Amino acid sequence: MRVKITTTIEEALLSHAKELAKKEGLEGANAIIERALELYFSSFQSEVWEKSLSSGFACNKKNPSLLG
**What pLDDT, in 10s, does the model give residues 22-37?**
999 999 999 999 999 9
Q: What is the pLDDT of residue 68?
A: 45
Note whether 66 and 48 are within 8 A (CB). yes
Residues 6+ apart with CB under 8 A from 3: none
Note whether 20 and 12 are within 8 A (CB). no
Confidence of residue 41 (pLDDT cuts 50, 70, 90): confident
In order, the DSSP letters of 8-64 are: ---HHHHHHHHHHHHHHT-SSHHHHHHHHHHHHHHHHHT---EEEETTEEEE-TT-G
Q: pTM of the prediction?
A: 0.59
Q: Where are the domains of the chain?
A: 11-67
